[in-house]
Structure formats: C-alpha cells, structure tokens
Structure 1
Amino acid sequence: MMIKKHPEFKNVLLSLSSDSELVFPLPNETIPAPDHSALPMALLLFIWGTVALHYNTSPLYRKSVFRYFTAHKFFVDDIFKRLIRSPVPAIIIILQNALLLSISTYTVFSALLTPLGQEAFFYHFPGLSIVGSSPISIFIWTLLLALLFSLLCIVWLYFSHKQIKSFTQIATIFAWPLQLNFLLCTGTITFYSASETGSATLFTALALLLFLLSYTFSGLDISRFARSKTKHLFKTIIPYVILIAGFTIWFFTNDQWIDILTLTLNLT
C-alpha cells in the first residue's frame, strides 16, 4: 500500500539494504566563515589618525615623543624640572592606549569564543553584559577599567612622593611607555584580520602586560628623586607587585572562573 502511494519509497528501502554507506538527505547549508568585523580596523585607523594629528599639531609632543626611549634619563630630568608642563599629551596617550586595549580585547574575545560561547559567558557573568551578548560589552568594560586603572596609578604615585607638586609630571611619566602599545595592538588587529588567533592573543597579552608594568616603570623613574629610595619603593612598587601577584594567583586558582572559561571556549 505504501509503495503504491509512494513509488520512490522502494528505492529508499533498496538503498538502505544494499549500499555500504547510508545517504541521508540534508539541507544544502554552507558553513559560515568567521565574522571579522570591520570595527577593529576602523577604530585602529582612527586612532592612528589621532596619533598623526597629535604629532603634527603639538610641538611639545613632537620634540619629546622619542626622547623617553632614546634619552630616557634626560627626559625624566626635564619632567621634574617642569620643562614639560602641559598635561594634554599625556591625557591623549592614555585615552589612545585605553581605546587600543579595548579593541584588542574585543578582537580576542570575538575570535576565541563562538556566538554560543559568548552567550554562555554572559549567562554566567550577567553583570558584564552591557549590550546583550555582544563583544561590545567587553570593549566598554576594558575601556572603563583601563581609564580607571590609569587614574588610580597616577593618584597613587602622586601622593607617595612629597616632592612632586604636579599631576602633569606623574601623568607624563606614566603615559609615555604606553606608546609601545600602539605597535602591539596594531599587531593584534592585523593578526585578527588574517585569522591568526594565536598571534592576536599573544600580542594582546603583551599589551596588557606592558600596561600593568607602566606603573612599575613610573615608580622606578620617580624613585630617583625620592629622599629615601627604599621607603619610596615600599610605598609604591612593592605593594603594587603584591596586589597584582595576589590577584593573578586568585584568578588562576579559582575553579569557578576556570571552569566557566573552559566551557565557553569549547562551545561551538
């Protein structure tokens, strides 16, 4: 009765009983290619545009941009002699660094986690979800935390050194090494665009490490002008290193965090 109504059913039965490999009808679907958003590259070009504009319009920045690396001792001496008085270059660099770190974490988050993994991540950490399950939430959080961290570091260094009378001095010393992140974060986005996730992740990790080390570099520079270098280090770098090390140990020994991250990374 079934074969009379559906003659093709006979061929199906014959194929199931005779073919060594079963063939099942499946919809003609294509595997979507990785979504490389244009946002990271667009923001990167925008930031490099601001770097070029800053260099072209600020004689102070143009004269001192490379001195931190080529004549470091003289650069720091100039700052403490207050030959560099404007806080604008330091503020611009700190903003540029925060944006670059935000783009880098956005790209790595997008590359390492599938849309399902991103949903799972924000399900377990709903407080981080600002724009739904979008990586934009990671971008915003990184931007806010980078700016807050920079401000706290500058304030900490300022109040730990009695001879310093200007926030501009501290902000300049803190900001200048962050310019290396212009290159590291550019590498991150370049590798991300080329689907080199491992290299993009490595460059982002290096950029974040440099950001954390900027406080240490600043503290060492300032200690040259302290009455007691040892006392200054105990008020700045030593407690800072203890805090960072403690947080790192807590993070990597927290089973809940590690389990959730492992789950989200493995979801496809």
Structure 2
Amino acid sequence: MAICLSFWAGFFTLSNAQQSEVGIVWEVPGDTYSAQIELGAFKTLGVTHIEIPYPVSEEIKPLLRDSSFSFLIRSPQKFLTVSGLQQQRSSLRTTITELGREYSSYANVSGIGVVTHSQTDHPDFLPSVNSILSTAVQEIDTPFYFVQNQNWYWLSSPENPFAVYFDDSEYQRSDLKDFSDFMSENGQDKIQIINSNWLLEATNDFPEIETALKEFTASGNWMLPHPNTKETTLLKANWMVLIFIFLWASLTLQIRFLPYVRSVIIRYFFAHRFFVDDILGYRERAVAGGILQMITHAIFGGLVFFMASHLLFSDLGIEAIFHYFPWLSLTVQNYYSFFVFGFGITLVFQLLALIWLHLPAKNLTHFSQTLNLYSGIFYIDYIIVTIMLTLFTAGAGHLFTLGFAVAFLLIWYLSFYITAFDIAQNNRDNKALYLLLTVVLYSLIIVTLLVVVLLFTDVISVFKLAAYL
C-alpha cells in the first residue's frame, strides 16, 4: 500500500511539474442529460480533475467510469474535532471502507477524501485518522486526502497541498479580478480547483475565460483580459450604523422628553450612593427610561455578538458552528443569526436577572425599584459600543476591537453583583440571606456551568475549530 501511495503521489507531482492542471468541485446536476452537458463543457475548458461528494447517484456512476477525467470522491465527514473523531471512529472507518470498495474498479478515481475542514491543526488529529483507517489502507489502493480551508492534502504527506481552491461559488463579474489573481499566484505546482457552477456561469458571461484556461493548461501562463465594466458607486447604508443612529436618537429624545433620564445617568455614575438611596426610598418612581434601556441593552448585545462573530470566525467557521449547534440559526445560517441570538439571549437573561434580584428583596415594594437599579449601568453601553463599532467599520486590529466586546460582557455580568449589593444596602435584617440567595448562588451556578462546559462538552473544541477555519 505504501508503494501504491508513493506511486499516486509521484504521479500527481510529475504531472503538475509538466503542465498546469485545473480541477473543479462538481455540484452534480439531478439528471443524466445535464450532467453529460456539463462534463462536455468541462472537457472543452481543459479541466482534468473533478471532485464529487459521496454518495454518488446510480445514474451518474456510468458517466464516471467512461470518462477521461481524474475523479476525487470526498466523504461527507466534516467539521470533526479531536474528541468528535474518537466518537465517530466506527462511522468514519465504515464510510471510507465502503467508499473505497465501491470505486475499487474505477481506474480513473485517483483520490478518496476522508475528512473536510476538521481540527487537523491539533497534533493528535491526523495520527488518529491514520490509526482509524489503518485497516482500510491495507485493502484500498486509492490514496486518501483531506481538505482544510482552501487546500487539499494527501494524508500520506500533509505538509504541502497538492491542490488549492478558489473559494467562491456564486459568480459576479467583480469576482474576475480575484480569480485572475488566484490563477496567477498559485503557479504550476498545484491543481487549481474551482466551483463548477461558478466556472460555468463565468464562462457564459465572459467567454475569454475559456481561452485563458486552455493557455494555462498548455503553457502554465495565465492571461485574462479584464472585462470593460462601467463601475457604479452605490451608496450602501450600513445597517448597524442605522441602528446605532436610531439608538442615539432614542437617547436624545428620552433626555428631551423624559428629563429624569439625564439625572439618572449623572447620579448613577457620579453620585451613586444618593441615586441608590432615592431608588430604595421610592423617591425615583419612573419606569419608562428603565424599560427602554433594557431593550436598548439587548439591541447592543445583538450588535456586539454580530461584530464579535465577524472578527472571530470566517464563513467556513460559521458553517462549522451551525453544523454542531443548528438551533443557533434562528433566522438563516450566517452572521445575522448572531445578531438575533445576541439580542434574544441578552433580553432573556436580563429578565431572569431582574426576577432573581427582586423576589428575595423584602425591602423593596415595587418592581420598578429593581428595574431602575439594574438598568442604570447599561447607559455606559453607548460609549463602549460606539468605540467598538467605530473600530469595526474602520478595520482596526481584531484584538483591540474584541477588547470592547469583552468589556461589554464583563459589565453585563457584573451588573448583577452591583445591583444585588445596592439592594442589600438598607436590608439590615435579611442582608446575609439576600446576598446568599443572589450573589453566592449566582456565582455557584456560573462556576458550575463553566466546569460542565469545559470538562464535559465539546463546545470549546468546536469554537477552536471554527476560529481555525
């Protein structure tokens, strides 16, 4: 088997050294006629390698056997963490063994993809894959490969990729410059892989691509004239900026028409003791400002979650997160789901915190007292999120920008403790019991949840994988 792997790896290395090669990730049509038409188009364009997801329909298999293309068959195993790999040992071994046996008689199947976009940066991952597939390696002559981000690697030599992928599946004419740079920069030592639908749409829109591909496969030189397009500048409103302007306008109107809001802001941060005394003495009774600030804080939470997800995860990382936690995609599986999730989780936890803080407080007679004490600190959101949004839209350093997301979350977390101690301030008879039922119990629950997540779930590994992709 080792000799066979060396032969296949040598074949691709020799082939790439002699000429540049183009491959596609084929989004296989549902009917045989369309598949035949597309295969003919690929041949005309000079495509030599085609990757197909497993399993392949029975109608398409005869087209593969009779074709002159070199086929790569990729298994559905993707987004595996180290612990997830161990849990799916049997499934992975069975899938790859069945795949290898199914295509053992296909002379033009030149590779079997074992895993995709997984935690291959972990030192134990690839050795574990080799161990799991040790039996399959002995009976399957076709070499194994894995896909990581935009690169294809042989499992037997994971240091250098044998293929690189142009990561775009929805064609727009503006993509052509990036595509031309991709073809020019990757040289002749790797197979250049393109999404099939993107390539077909691009050649229909800009036929010069066909000539450029033929020249590339023949000589290794990439020459594509840039299309003459009249660029139009459209004023695109950033939806986050619009929301932010609305929130600032809302605060301005509150200060204008609810005069006590100004005094709440000033006294909470600069005369906190007197502010707490007024609330506990029920001398400050207004609730509209507190309710509006709770809603505003939830919207700010959505914005922070959205920006943080953009800074931490690529589109592929987002896909990995939704693969493990599909319930996060309350709307659609993209970054906007994080805004909706952030808004929802912030609002729900605020309401739970208010109820938790108010019920044991025997010294409070009105729920508005707890509301005003708890919501006051959230006026600082305007400063924190303003700075974060400015840095985010300006493309500032990720760590610096994320620091303000951490500050937002930290203040949100500490607001529970601050409010609990404020309420306990004049609760002399039941102060110890109140703090036990709030501060101590809250801390125990948070610590317990952290221990459970860190030690008994795969959450951290999933987010490490998503950040790596």
Do the two structures share a fold, i.e. TM-score over 0.5?
Answer: yes
Shift of 1:204: 0.6
Q: 2-side partners of 1:249 and 1:232: how far apart? A: 25
TM-superposed CA distance for 1:43, in Å, is 1.6
Cα displacement (A) at 1:136: 1.3
Which of 88, 93, 96 is the equivalent residue of 2:288? 88
What letter corresponds to residue 207 of structure 1 in structure 2? F
Measure the CA separation in 1 of the matches of 2:392 and 2:413: 23
Percent identical among aligned pairs is: 24
Return the offset for 1:111.
2.3
- The residue aligned with 1:10 is none
The 3-state SS of whatever aligns with 1:224 is helix
2:438 is aligned to: 236
CA distance in 2, matches of 1:70, 1:266: 44
Q: Please state whether the residue corresponding to 2:458 is helix, strand or coil.
A: helix
C-alpha displacement at 1:193, in angstroms? 1.0
Report deviation, 1:117: 1.6
CA deviation after TM superposition for structure 1 residue 127, in Å: 1.0
Taking the aligned partners of 2:448 and 2:411, their CA distance within structure 1 comes to: 18
Distance 1:182 1:26 in 2: 51
The unaligned stretches of length 5 or more in structure 1 are 1-14, 31-35
Is 1:246 paired with 2:448? yes
Give distance in 2, aligned partners of 1:167 and 1:29. Answer: 69
- Shift in CA distance, 259/225, structure 1 to aligned 2, threshold 3 Å: same
User: Which shifted more, 67-76 or 183-192?
Assistant: 183-192
* Residue number in structure 2 paired with 1:173: 373
- Matching residue's letter, 1:214: S
Check the 8 A contact 2:264/2:376 in 1, yes or no: no
1:236 shift after superposition: 0.9
Amino acid at match of 2:374: F
| Larger RCO, structures 1/2 (Cα 8 Å, 6+ apart) | 1
Contact 1:101 1:185 (8 Å CA) reproduced: no
2:238 aligned to 31, 38, 44, which one?
38
For residues 253 and 41 of structure 1, the distance between their equivalents in structure 2, rounded to whole angstroms, comes to 39
Counterpart Cα distance in 2 of 1:28 and 1:257: 45
Checking the alignment, whether the CA contact within 8 Å between 2:279 and 2:369 is kept in structure 1 is: yes
SS at match of 1:160: coil
Q: Matched residue of 2:299: which SS? A: helix
Q: Which amino acid aligns with 1:51?
A: L
1:221 corresponds in structure 2 to 422
- The DSSP-based 3-state class of the residue aligned with 2:392 is helix
More strand by share: 2
- Give 1:166 shift: 0.5
- TM-score normalised according to structure 1 size: 0.84
Using the alignment, how far apart are the partners of 1:201 and 1:29 within structure 2? 41
**1:119 Cα deviation after fit:** 1.5
After superposition, what is the alpha-carbon deviation per residue over 1:129-187, rounded to whole angstroms, capped at 9, x for unaligned?
12222111111111111111111111111111112110100000000011122211122
Give, as a single letter, the amino acid of the residue that structure 2 aligns with 1:223: A
Larger radius of gyration between Structure 1 and Structure 2: 2
Distance 2:254 2:359 in 1: 30
Change (3 A) 1:202 1:218: same
Shift of 1:42: 2.0
What is aligned with 1:185? 385
TM-aligned CA deviation for residue 234 of structure 1: 0.6
What is the one-letter code of the residue matched to 2:426?
A: F
2:225 maps to 1:24: no
Alpha-carbon distance in structure 1 between the residues aligned to 2:445 and 2:394: 36
Aligned to 1:126: 326
What's the TM-score once normalised by structure 2's chain length? Answer: 0.49
Say what the alpha-carbon RMSD is for the aligned residues: 2.4
Aligned partner of 1:204 in structure 2 is 405
1:11 is matched with: none
* Greater fraction helix: 1
Q: Secondary structure at the match of 1:84?
A: coil
In 1, the alpha carbon distance for the partners of 2:386 and 2:368 equals: 27
- Number of residue pairs the alignment of both structures matches: 245
Residues 175 and 252 (structure 1), Cα distance of their counterparts in 2 relative to 1, 3 Å cut: same
Structure 2's unaligned 5+ residue stretches are: 1-16, 20-186, 189-218, 227-235
- Counterpart secondary structure, 1:131: coil
Task: Tell whether the 8 Å contact from 2:384 to 2:407 is kept in structure 1 after alignment.
Answer: yes
Using the TM superposition, give the Cα deviation of residue 254 of structure 1 relative to its aligned residue in structure 2, in angstroms.
4.7
Which residue in 2 is equivalent to 1:65? Answer: 265
Tell me how far apart the structure 1 counterparts of residues 243 and 276 of structure 2 sit (CA, whole Å).
Answer: 32
